[in-house]
Amino acid sequence: MKGNEALSEAAIRAGATLYFGYPITPQNEVAEYMSRRLPTIPGGAYIQAETEVAAINMVYGAVATGRRALTTSSSPGISLMAEGISYLAGSELPAVVVNIMRGGPGLGNINPEQADYFQAVKGGGHGSYRLIVLAPSSVQEMADLTVLAFSLADRYRNPVMVVADGNLGQMMEPVELAERYPSEVDHASWALTGAKERPGRTITSIYLDADEMEAYIRRLYAKYDEVERNEVRFEEYLTEDADAVLVAYGIVSRVVRSAVEELRARGIKAGMVRLITLWPFPKAVLKGLAERVRFFLVCEMSMGQMVEDVQLAVNGQRPVYFYGRSGGNVPTPAEIVAEVAKRV
């Protein structure tokens, strides 16, 4: 299956039988898959929105009823969704947004990049909020992390973003899927299902009073603290004895894995931390490794947007270097091997 199809089918099996989206390359396979499948499912609907702005607001309406819904887009489209994502976070609604990242800024190109890290992890929209951000690195994870995204969105009543790239979207690999991934969370206490045998309820994000607004924001941040405590996910690869630790996520982590193997074959003790959650960021593992490794090398398909988060975690204890490519160029194992080898 293609990565984009795997995430689509996983979403459907997670009960997200409502899809709202707008065509943009390189994520069109999702919309095409959904437009084939959803009309055949009872209660399912594929809606081609007039804009990404509308698509994210359709999601806002749909998830307010307690149902699962999906929207997907690519970088410029995600920029248009920023307002709606802020509203979803501000109204504490569980939503899943997938960004199949492409080159930017501006219209950029349709090649794979990872240059929306800041947008996904640091905000994107206005106001005091956080997104949970998941980064798959295989077609299997395109499916698995989509399912996890729905589960985390439900648990924390917060939007979750899955960030992948055109490579992962188009790549074909075998995938195992369960028959169904039902929600473990009951939304009956807040969902808009009609004021039947209960008073009317409201979903909103407006608090005119300064103290009330502050109390609300503090409550959101208490929730984000809980997410940071419970939901950090990463994979360590050959870090036990490593002198050099490479930090990567998504498609780049597969290249880095090959580079680590090549370095090991040359007798250089390299390892990798692969991020699965970009937020919450795996600070503790990097801080721990900083006690014993010689240096870190952050590898990205961007100009180094994740570097400062690694630096913050390492807190000056060890050098943090960067190697990245941009514009749709994927770093090669040989390039990464050379970057490490010249520093050993």
Partner 1 sequence: MQKVFERPKSLTDKPFHYCPGCGHGIVHRMIAEAIDELKLAERTIVISPVGCSVFAYWYFATDNIQAAHGRAPAVATGLKRANPESIVISYQGDGDLASSGTAEIIHAAARGENFTVVFINNAIYGMTGGQMAPTTLVGQASATSPYGRDPKFAGHPLHVSEMLATLKAPRYIERTALNNVANLARTKRAIKKALDLQQKGEGFTFVEVLAMCPTNWGVDPSEAVDWLESSLMPEYPLGVYRDAAPGEVK
Give the binding site for partner 1 (CB under 8 A). 18, 20, 45, 47, 49-51, 53-55, 57-65, 67, 69, 83-84, 87, 91, 192-196, 199-206
182-185 own/partner pairs: CB under 8 Å, 24+ apart: 182/14, 182/15, 183/14, 183/15, 183/68, 183/150, 183/151, 183/154, 184/151, 184/154, 184/155, 185/94, 185/154, 185/155
Closest approach of partner 1 to the CB of residue 193, in Å:
7
Q: 62 or 100: whose CB is closer to partner 1? A: 62
The span from the CA of 155 to the CA of 208, in Å, is 28
The span from the CA of 71 to the CA of 65, in Å, is 16
Closest approach of partner 1 to the CB of residue 114, in Å:
29
Closest approach of partner 1 to the CB of residue 49, in Å:
7
Q: 201 or 292: whose CB is closer to partner 1? A: 201
Q: 22 or 322: whose CB is closer to partner 1? A: 22
Closest approach of partner 1 to the CB of residue 96, in Å:
14
Closest approach of partner 1 to the CB of residue 53, in Å:
7
Q: 19 or 181: whose CB is closer to partner 1? A: 19
Q: 67 or 343: whose CB is closer to partner 1? A: 67
- Return the amino acid letter for 252: V
Nearest to 59 by CA among 161, 206, 163, 177: 161
Q: 207 or 295: whose CB is closer to partner 1? A: 207
Give the H/E segment covering residue 169: helix 166-170
Q: What's the length of the chain?
A: 344
In this structure, how many other beta carbons lie within 10 angstroms of the beta carbon of residue 170?
16
In sequence order, what E strands does 44-144 have? 45-48, 69-73, 96-103, 109-112, 132-134
Closest approach of partner 1 to the CB of residue 5, in Å:
23
Structure tokens at 295: 């240096």
Can you give 239-286 as a three-state secondary structure string? CCCCCEEEEEECHHHHHHHHHHHHHHHCCCCEEEEEECEEECCCHHHH
Q: 198 or 218: whose CB is closer to partner 1? A: 198
Q: 110 or 220: whose CB is closer to partner 1? A: 220
Closest approach of partner 1 to the CB of residue 326, in Å:
33
Q: 196 or 229: whose CB is closer to partner 1? A: 196
Q: What is the dihedral of CA 267, 273, 274, 280, to 10 degrees?
A: -170
Distances (CA, A) of 234 to 9, 67, 227, 271, 298: 24, 29, 14, 13, 15
Closest approach of partner 1 to the CB of residue 283, in Å:
33
Closest approach of partner 1 to the CB of residue 207, in Å:
11
